[in-house]
Copies of this chain bind each other. A is one copy, B any other.
């Protein structure tokens, strides 16, 4: 977890927590399923969520435009690559990834390619995370956040990323996956 110094990102103030039975960015289902091995029937809990996207914005001189933001799950500030959800208005994951990059960083590129997809959690989620690479990104404006989001672009040399992961500055599993996809792509193109 990144501990920012001199950052405008602040911790949200918790006003109380309660156990609940309904969700917003995912839906919880209970499924009754029979085991093919024991024939016994079990209640299985799964989350249905839209597909997710993330994207590595890479400048011509091989710097990555990352994002610093508050994350409610870990109640702390993280360093990630731009990411978000595929929604009904942008059913194309590439379009969704580009939108998130522009909104969260202000950077853009016309050269965006898919790197691959993973399942964030096959055990109890049905969705995929699609990863993209944006080459030769340039700054075209400021981040344009909605009321729920506040992101800061952080430009880091790609060569620093392994140490940022090793030292725990980058802890988001799907950001690590994104950099693994980039590594796989570059090891085949050589």
CB under 8 Å from chain B, chain A span 17-40: 17-38, 40
Q: Nearest CB to that of A37 among chain B residues?
A: B150
Q: A175 CB to closest chain B CB, in angstroms?
A: 9
Does A42 belong to the interface (CB within 8 Å)? yes
Collect the chain B residues with CB atoms within 8 Å of residue A76's CB: 122
Q: Which residues of B contact A42 (CB under 8 A)?
A: 148
The 0/1 profile, CB within 8 Å of B marked 1, for residues 73-85 of chain A is 1111010100000
B72 touches A123 (CB 8 A): yes
- Is A139 interfacial (CB-CB < 8 Å)? no
Consensus secondary structure, chain A interface: mixed
Q: Are B171 and A180 in contact (CB under 8 A)?
A: no
Count of chain A residues near B, Cβ 8 A:
79
Cβ contacts under 8 Å, A166 to chain B: 116, 184, 188
Q: Does A13 contact B (CB under 8 A)?
A: yes
Decide: A172 and B118 in contact? CB cutoff 8 A: yes
By beta carbon, the residue of chain B nearest A18 is B30
**A residues at B contact (CB < 8 Å):** 1, 10-38, 40-47, 70-76, 78, 80, 116-126, 128-129, 147-148, 150, 162, 165-166, 168, 171-174, 176-177, 179-180, 183-184, 187-188
Q: List 25 A-B contacts (CB under 8 A).
A: A13-B33, A13-B34, A13-B36, A15-B32, A17-B29, A19-B30, A20-B28, A23-B45, A28-B28, A35-B148, A36-B70, A38-B147, A44-B72, A72-B124, A73-B121, A73-B123, A73-B126, A80-B122, A119-B171, A119-B172, A119-B173, A121-B121, A122-B172, A129-B173, A165-B184
